Amino acid sequence: MWRLVIESRGATLERVERAEKISSWVVGFALLLLAIYVVVSSVDKLITRQGAETSGLGIALAIASGILMPYLSHAKKRIGTEIGSRALRADGSCSIVCAYMAWTVLAGALLTASLGWWWVDSVAALALVYFIVKEGWEAIQEARGKEDACGCDGRCD
């Protein structure tokens, strides 16, 4: 958003590119920090035998996020490609990670509530770490100026 606001205010191409690069770095590091948090939190919950907590509002938010985030991700990546914004494409990657996390939270909460599988939420979260790290690393590579950081020949879906 910051990059787009700067551009809309008529900033120089150099300033827009600098904002683009900074935004990509922020998104990439945020995802890598999220991966660390997920590992630490999941291991802690496995050690202390804590399951997912359930609430009606939490389940509704997870369902809404799981449905809406893939559309938002696709739109951000498409628009990012159209306007040449690596940061917006990286933010689209964040949105798809949010969708994965929403479905994981939902599955964990439902399995814990229905079958008593207290551990399933943490194990599923650990499985997501690969995707979180992958998206974070791609954003950092794009911030470093690596073309085709996602290995998709510019299509980045």
Residue 149: its pLDDT value, please?
53
Percentage of the chain surpassing pLDDT 70? 92
Q: Which of 79, 102, 97, 103 is nearest to 89 (CA)?
A: 79
- Asked if pLDDT for residue 49 goes beyond 80, the answer is yes
* Cα(19)–Cα(5) distance, integer angstroms: 10
- Tokens standing for 118? 């207290």
112-140 confidence digits (pLDDT tens):
888 888 899 899 889 889 988 998 998 89
Q: Which residues contact 105 (CB under 8 A, 6 or more apart)?
A: 52, 58, 62, 121
Is residue 133 within 8 A of residue 33, CB to CB? The reply is no
pTM for the model: 0.72
| Tokens at 25, concatenated | 């770095």
Q: Taking CA 90 as the corner, what is the angle to CA 16 and CA 13, rounded to the nearest 5 degrees?
A: 10
**Tokens 């683009």 appear where?**
20
Q: Is the pLDDT of residue 2 over 60?
A: yes
pLDDT in tens, 61-120: 889 999 999 999 999 899 888 888 777 887 787 788 889 888 888 888 888 888 888 899
